[in-house]
Structure 1
Amino acid sequence: MPSNPNEYNNFPLSRFESMLKTNDVYFFDSEEFEQIIQHYLENGKVALAKKATKLGLEQHPTATSLKLFQIEMFIFENELDTAEALLDDLYLLEQSNEEIYIQKANIFSRRDDHKNAIKLLEKALEITNDESDVLSLIGMEYLFLEDFDNAKRSFMRCLEQDEQDYSALYNIIYCFEYLQEHEAAIDYLNDFLNKNPYCEVAWHQVGKQYYILKEYKKALAAFDFAIISDDRFIGAYLEKGKALERLKRYSEAIESYTITLGLDDPTSFALLRIGKCYEKLGDNDLALQFYNKCVEEDGLLDKGWIAITDYFLKQQDFEKALYYIEKAINIDGENVLYWKRYARINMRLMRFEEAEHGYRRTLELGNYELDTWLSRTDLLIKLGEFQSAVSNLFQATEFYPDNVEIEFRLAGLFYILKEGRKAEFHLKNGLRSNTDYLMILEELFPKVYAKTRVRQIIEKHKNTSV
């Protein structure tokens, strides 16, 4: 016999696993099968849950609870038609079982038919003894529909049923934030705090709303109340640190971030922010020390590598900046922010081919900012790759048609390539757009700018536009 309560609670599970090992067949009542299946589902052991359900239905073929587990697993595996057929059979037998409506709603939701899912959940709400769970499901369906007002109302009703349901509270604030109703969110949270004055989650959320509104002193007070309510609340210390930074109280921000390092394993975010604060205080050695700790803790955090790189850029130590950004690229070669810095650093080092490669990779990775197209073009011009520069600019025109900076560059390039008609076409386009950008032609193509024919076109345009 089991010798302690925990062993007793696990006894059906132990017997079931013993049965699987020996191939013996033991009898379990349907409630024991429910416990076993629930345990496997909660621990992500779906195959064992399916096996327990199959054996359970062999021993209890009419058990509705086991049939519902079977249906849940069919839905999980996206076998929606099979699940629906089984639910329809169950519905004929038990029209007052809320779980049938919930699982049917789950199927509708999987098919992106959220309105019908809500209708079924509202029927479940009429007969359930656990309104909170059903209201939460209704709220999620409204979120899928991006109906944030109704979602918010559902989660509010949910929280009224269970004031400890912090997931509902988070969802309510998410809706307020999406609707940009930050003041209304604060009012709601204050009402909630009148009834739950030591709810650290609510204080934390009040602080975040004030932070969004740039009312940093009020945010700071709210985060302090969150910490009073729970002095091990890491999120409150981190947010407090951010508010202190905004108030330029960097030493205090360092203290707040440092507390989190002692409460749990150090987070790369806290290490990064401490480094930033030390840099603001002018303590560059400590700043660099924490930046290095940050990337040691999380080599995939791009903000850490960027902080180190930018630190050396400010020191105008371009070789070290290049060293760190190349280390970052070796870890994550698909990061656009790395390649943009790689290009800029190589530009400062007069390594034009490497810089051009950096801008090219930036574009290949989907960064189509105008500045990237233009910077790459100017490098190709420096390298004498005029045809490639033209191709690059024509690609840019797909995103920035009739852009004056592109037009003047194309004009200069076509003059160099001795394609006069095309050159004049783009020169005239540029002049019609904005003559202030003529400096592009003068700076990038001084010999073209000095051409008699070019001067004539410019003068003609000035005379006709007076």
Structure 2
Amino acid sequence: MEFSQHDDNDNFSLTKFESMLKTNNVLFFDSSEFENIIQHYLEIGKIALAKKAIKMGLEQHPTSVNLKLFQVEIYVLEDKLQQADKLLDALYVIEPSNEEIYIQKASILSKRDEHQKAIDTLMIALKLTENDDDDADLYALIGMEYLFMDQFENAKDYFIKCLELDMEDYSALYNIIYCFDFLNLNSEAIDFLNRYLDKNPYCEVAWHQLGRQYFSLKDFQKALAAFEFAIISDDSFVGAYLEKGKVLEKLKKYEEAIENYKITLTLDEPTSFALLRIGNCHEKLNQHDLALQYYYKTVHEDPLLDKGWIAITKFYNKKRNYQKALFYINKAINIDCDNVIYWKLYAQINHRLNFLEEAERGYKKTLDLGNYELSTWLSRADILIRLGEPEASALNLIQAAEFYPETAEIEFRLAGIYYTLLETEKGFYHLKNGLLLNSEFDFIIEELFPLIASQKSIQDIILNSKKQSS
């Protein structure tokens, strides 16, 4: 009942404060009321109202250290670090054993990327705390500072200390598993979670994290059991149904996967991920109309999700309906013209349709966006050859050779191009390189440059090279 009474008082104070703001009547609040009002606004992100409450609070209680500490917190939020430092120094003279002063000082040091100093300061605060709740908060703060320094082992240890004092601090639990993941300690993470679950058998978050660990180790049966326990612990846990669906897909139980994904649609707003996975399951079951229906729902729900557009495009690609595939990849590019996967698909589809200029444009754009796969360079080079632009093709291949030096596929193409351009010395140089690297790729000359391949001098070079290597 005491908590209910406390909540009622807080609500009354808030209502009274907001009423005062509307009427401009100045009412009196004691300092603890102001503290609760400020804390409420900070927690819900209403910084402007928090600042008003601090200002009015300090007007009514100018000596309140706690209200001044809230002022420090606002300064830190607004990156006014010098002002925060100055006010903290003044507060330290008044209350040198107030742990909150050290916590705020650590926050300033952290903002300045002085994380070790922040940790040292938090350690001082730790010596001044008087209850486990405060200790738990400080352990979490120290853990975060170690995370900022990429010291995952130390971070993990402090988050574990935090969790030992507050078993329901799920942020600490998530951070512990994040550290285990980063350190590639899946088995250790599983041991830790099992120990935690011995004490908290109905913690859906821990079961969910345990399932993810088993999933990463490809132990799908144990992962499935863990996600089922997460659902038993909380039958409205959307994340557990999604993860269970992923496991069922791995086990090729597509109908059951669809059922779990569909449950998430009833529990919350439809997610593009669930819709996409349902479409994928239907496609695996050869239920093509349903698959397409869910792919369309995916891009309708989230037009920016590239996987949705890619799924539709690849669906039509498999059906060899290249015109429709091209239509949808064009729609995708209109939404996001810097998506490298879209451009690669655009190039490949146009290539299949023999729209060479569009295909070349697609491959060039793919390269411009940083996709430097060998196949992209070679496809563009071959198209430029077919378009009668050997010089551009050679330039493209020379650029490719910077990323893929000593590559036979590049050398044979350059040989053919230079022989075509009657630059026989260059042609001979690249032909010899290609033969030395891998003579089995000599068919490239025959396929792309049949007139060159038919010349006796070229045939002799290839034949002599193969005789020497054998």
Structure-1-length-normalised TM-score: 0.93
Where does residue 253 of structure 1 map in the other structure? 257
Where does residue 192 of structure 2 map in the other structure? 188
Q: 1:120 to 1:8 in 2, by over 3 A?
A: closer
Where does residue 228 of structure 1 map in the other structure? 232
Q: 1:420 to 1:121 in 2, by over 3 A?
A: same
Structure 2 letter corresponding to 1:183: S
Where does residue 30 of structure 1 map in the other structure? 31
Matched residues in 2 for 1:116 and 1:276: separation?
51
Q: Percent identity?
A: 62
Where does residue 171 of structure 2 map in the other structure? 167
Matched residues in 1 for 2:368 and 2:214: separation?
40
The 3-state SS of whatever aligns with 2:403 is coil
Trace 1:98-113 onto structure 2 (pairs within 5 A): 98-113=99-114
The 3-state SS of whatever aligns with 1:366 is coil
Where does residue 77 of structure 1 map in the other structure? 78
Where does residue 92 of structure 1 map in the other structure? 93
Where does residue 400 of structure 1 map in the other structure? 404
Once the two structures are TM-superposed, the CA of residue 345 in structure 1 deviates from its matched residue by: 1.0
Deviations 1:86-137 (A, max 9, x none): 2223223322111111111112211222222111112212222311111111
- The structure 2 residue matched to 1:152, chosen from 137, 150, 156, is 156
Where does residue 262 of structure 1 map in the other structure? 266
Trace 1:353-432 onto structure 2 (pairs within 5 A): 353-432=357-436
Once the two structures are TM-superposed, the CA of residue 30 in structure 1 deviates from its matched residue by: 2.3
Matched residues in 1 for 2:467 and 2:292: separation?
59
Deviations 1:299-355 (A, max 9, x none): 111111111111111111111111121121122222111111111111111111111
Q: 1:313 to 1:219 in 2, by over 3 A?
A: same
Matched residues in 1 for 2:289 and 2:249: separation?
19
Structure 2 letter corresponding to 1:347: H
Q: 1:19 to 1:227 in 2, by over 3 A?
A: closer
Matched residues in 1 for 2:149 and 2:294: separation?
44
Where does residue 442 of structure 2 map in the other structure? 438
Deviant stretches of 4+, over 6 Å: 4-7
Aligned length: 463
Deviations 1:173-225 (A, max 9, x none): 11111111111111111111111111111111111111111111111111111
The 3-state SS of whatever aligns with 1:115 is helix
Instruction: Using the TM superposition, name which of 417-426 and 157-166 deviates more.
Output: 417-426
- 8 Å CA contact 2:203, 2:230 repeated in 1: yes
User: What are the ranges of 5 or more consecutive residues in structure 2 without an aligned counterpart?
Assistant: none
Q: 1:67 to 1:418 in 2, by over 3 A?
A: farther
Matched residues in 2 for 1:292 and 1:261: separation?
16
Structure 1 letter corresponding to 2:40: H
Structure 2 letter corresponding to 1:98: E
Where does residue 203 of structure 2 map in the other structure? 199
Where does residue 284 of structure 1 map in the other structure? 288
Instruction: Using the TM superposition, name which of 423-432 and 214-223 deviates more.
Output: 423-432
Matched residues in 1 for 2:106 and 2:317: separation?
56
Once the two structures are TM-superposed, the CA of residue 68 in structure 1 deviates from its matched residue by: 1.5
Matched residues in 2 for 1:303 and 1:315: separation?
18
Matched residues in 2 for 1:414 and 1:61: separation?
85
Once the two structures are TM-superposed, the CA of residue 236 in structure 1 deviates from its matched residue by: 1.0
Q: 1:172 to 1:20 in 2, by over 3 A?
A: same
Matched residues in 1 for 2:407 and 2:113: separation?
42
Structure 2 letter corresponding to 1:373: W
Matched residues in 2 for 1:410 and 1:73: separation?
64
Matched residues in 2 for 1:95 and 1:8: separation?
31
- The structure 2 residue matched to 1:272, chosen from 251, 254, 276, is 276
Structure 1 letter corresponding to 2:311: A
Matched residues in 2 for 1:269 and 1:21: separation?
45
Matched residues in 1 for 2:435 and 2:32: separation?
83
Q: 1:93 to 1:397 in 2, by over 3 A?
A: farther
The 3-state SS of whatever aligns with 1:112 is coil
Matched residues in 2 for 1:442 and 1:143: separation?
58
Where does residue 237 of structure 1 map in the other structure? 241
- 8 Å CA contact 2:279, 2:292 repeated in 1: yes
Once the two structures are TM-superposed, the CA of residue 158 in structure 1 deviates from its matched residue by: 0.8
- 8 Å CA contact 2:338, 2:369 repeated in 1: yes
Once the two structures are TM-superposed, the CA of residue 18 in structure 1 deviates from its matched residue by: 4.5
Q: 1:419 to 1:83 in 2, by over 3 A?
A: farther
User: What are the ranges of 5 or more consecutive residues in structure 1 without an aligned counterpart?
Assistant: none
Q: 1:52 to 1:444 in 2, by over 3 A?
A: same
Cα RMSD, aligned residues only: 2.1
Where does residue 51 of structure 2 map in the other structure? 50
Once the two structures are TM-superposed, the CA of residue 148 in structure 1 deviates from its matched residue by: 1.3
Once the two structures are TM-superposed, the CA of residue 260 in structure 1 deviates from its matched residue by: 1.3
- 8 Å CA contact 2:279, 2:291 repeated in 1: yes
- 8 Å CA contact 2:10, 2:36 repeated in 1: no
Once the two structures are TM-superposed, the CA of residue 9 in structure 1 deviates from its matched residue by: 2.9
Once the two structures are TM-superposed, the CA of residue 367 in structure 1 deviates from its matched residue by: 1.4
Structure 2 letter corresponding to 1:432: L
Matched residues in 1 for 2:423 and 2:466: separation?
24
